[in-house]
Structure 1
Amino acid sequence: MNAQDLKNSILQLAIQGKLVEQRKEEGTAKELLEQIKAAKEQFIKEKKIKKQKALSEITEDEVPFDIPESWVWVRFGEIVNVVSARRVHQSDWRKEGIPFYRAREIGKLAEFGNVDNELFIDEELFNKFAESGVPKAGDLMVTAVGTLGKTYIVKDDDIFYYKDASVICLENFYDVSSEYIKLIMESKLMEKQIKSNSGGTTVSTLTMVRMNMYCLPLPPLEEQKRIVAKIEELMPYVDKYDVAYSEVEELNKKFPEDMQKSTLQYAVQGKLVEQREEEGTAEELYQQIQEEKKVLVKEGKVKKPKKLMEITEDEIPYDIPENWKWVRLGDIFEINPRNTVNDDTTVSFIPMTLIEDGYRSEFSFETKSWGEVKKGYTHFRDGDIVMAKITPCFQNLKSAIMLNLENGVGAGTTELHVLRAYNDICLEFFLWFIKSPIFVSTCVTKMTGTAGQQRVGTDTITNYVIPLPPLEEQKRIVAKIEEMLPRCKQLVK
């Protein structure tokens, strides 16, 4: 339950007579209603308010819940005088004078208690309107367009006029608790009545006729005041609950993401699965990769790479297991290779718009002849790891393993880095590594280019220092990640 739900529950208890006790000495709402009727007749006789058409009796179908015996169901038109303003033409608007409020200003007053007003009318015009009535302290101003039913209680020092048809005034001629009426206006009871006028959706305007006919439960006057006092006592606790609830919600939202990041961080530090002596060492795997690289260079299948610098202690960000080895990405992958394919071969063409994150087998692509795409585009083939190198795609971890390309070959957007393994390694392990927080955050600090279009350079990727586990451990790490991450995602629901 969020804070608004809690507030709604408290309001519902209040208007059902369940928030405070009933007291016999406070009389009944029926007695109060008779006094209001008598006062209304006197005001009509004195021509302070106009006589209205008789309102229909409230039917059983209109009563949504039970109320205490000392309460009574009434229509708004029975306890307040529902009125609107005289027409103020746009030509009468001024930049100073008496404030002139539309629904938007009343809505802000209702929510914040103050408003930076931009429209005014002449004091002379206001005084003219005052002859037929202007808002007075205790009256309630209700928004009649836009968000309907927002209610502001006029204060003692308020002097303003308001827009007809945009705002309705509930003249509180008998001093029924204005605060209690405002609670009714904020309740689900009123929300449902307003929505019922248009078959379930909020109507575009709130008319005087509708306002007169809406129903509300009326307690004795002193009980109204006690209900308001209890609400005012409880609302600070609701506000504290709102803060606490928001903090918990934020933690709940962040927890799955933080858990995923922690899982990946544990994985690349060798803390996610145990090490097994029978699986050999990363040094042995590294030597196998270097031997395979020499064979590929000798056969002309790859270009001889530049010798990379030895890794220094300053470049090592954290400890890894003894059977692991720190290497540079360029030591175990050919970075941004070029393909050698016949021009008439049909291949996959993948622009950035079709690049998806993390796929391994099924994705969308266009087909073109190699002759059309071999120049001016990035080359890749089945088994290559691709990663976006530009913002914001890079930070969004847009990376994948290419599989099921047309004839095993493809080309596409130039805004990709391509990592092609020299020999048999677990591609998924390295895919997860380039999604890890440490890889992303480190690369972000080394981006170049303008603020609107930054990219990770080839040198950064080639020389990036990465931990290399033994091959079988790579596979077990991937299996554990793929077991745990779906659970992280389930926590979001």
Structure 2
Amino acid sequence: MQDFSNLPKSWQVKTLGEVCDIISKGATPKIQNKTADKNSALFLKAENVTKNGCVNFDNVKFIDYKTHTTTLKRSMLKNLDILITIAGSLARCAVLEIKPNQQININQAVSFARLKDTSKVNPYFVKYFIMNPTMQLYLLSKAKTTAVPNLTLEIIRDTKIPIPPLEIQRRIVKRLDEAFSRIKNGTKHLKSAKDNLTKYKQSLLKSAFNGTLTQDCPLSLGKSTAESSLRENPQGFSWQPTHSLSQGESTTKQSINTHPLAPSAREGEQEDCHTSKVPSICGGDLGVGSTRTHKVVDCHESLRDSHNDENSPSFAGGQGIKNSPSLAEGARGWVSPLNDNALDCHADKSPRNDDKDLLNGESANLPQGWTIKTLGEVCEINPKNKLDDNLEVSFIPMNLILDKFQNKFSYETKIWKNIKKGYTHLQNNCIALAKITPCFENGKCVILDDLKNGYGAGTTEIIILLPNTQKVFIKYIFYFLNTQNFIE
């Protein structure tokens, strides 16, 4: 029920039927989609009345002038008529502003109210009143619940509206117009900022994986003398036994991962997860399902060789990386997230020449020390778990992985024996990547951690990547999967 008990004394309460000369609706003729010309009329439908209180003339239909003036004569619209949707999307409202010689009609899903005297009641005041949330709830509560929800003309006519003096109406309309204009502009700027942030993100990722993000950041943090370097390791360096580096021993995890509770588990069977923050991947274009052959870039081998050579500048403070050759000029432009011009050289969807070389598996203009690898060389694909049947583990269907690379997920708890067959095996410190459309394009990708007892299973619509953490950093792989080159 409408409540007007607290209105100022100078305000009146009337029904729309009392202040309007006519309240009616349109109809749907047999023939429409006529080409726009001097013998046609615009034909509006409910979708042409927006929730923001405007009339959208995009994708509008047309009817012939004869139908407009005969069959649909009762719904020939005039300037400042108030449109109210009464079927489908209910109670949307707009004031129609008609240009000279413009002919407009409506279908049966739209009603119109024509005020008796616009010098007493402002049509825009009526529009804002109908748009207010309390009024919207009232009208929706009155709707007839059939196959298509609808409002009757009787409901529209009986709707009560407070009527303040005309000058107060004008002030209210002016303030609301100004506020809605600011909201519209704010929404536009937010959209622009969002678009620019998306461009910036891709620019940042692109520069990260072609080497330019770190080209001005030498790894050395210590002193330049060999003596000081023996006491203070440069950033990214650690002391390793010479024989382990020269032999190039493999640290890839075995195919079957066991849990301490598994009947066949042996002491020391599982390897520790060592995180090595070494650049390893550069742009590529992997189709879903071909993860093992995706080209990546690995600079670990070059750094390892430098460790073994005491005469190498890298050995004495990491200076061998400092003067790495620069990459294509195109990756240098970005300055700030909101600089459109600076972002243009990165945000284009077509790869630059050096990117195309990378897509073909060539080193192109990569910095010194970077090499091409496949994801299959630095990650184990879809590893299997061997666990105790009664162990509680995580279960992750696709809907529990958030999109847009938010790196967030949730899980259900299940018993391992109930999900170990027919699902993709999961474990902590893996990356789950959607392999179906549109989930892949929508960025359903997550680093798995804090799984129940460290393990689980999930939808078969994901690929699991288990990075060799002595070769690549897991989050480095995750960011690489964010890149536009990979997604496309």
TM-score when normalising by structure 1: 0.47
Larger radius of gyration: 1
TM-score when normalising by structure 2: 0.47
Which of the pair is proportionally richer in helix?
1
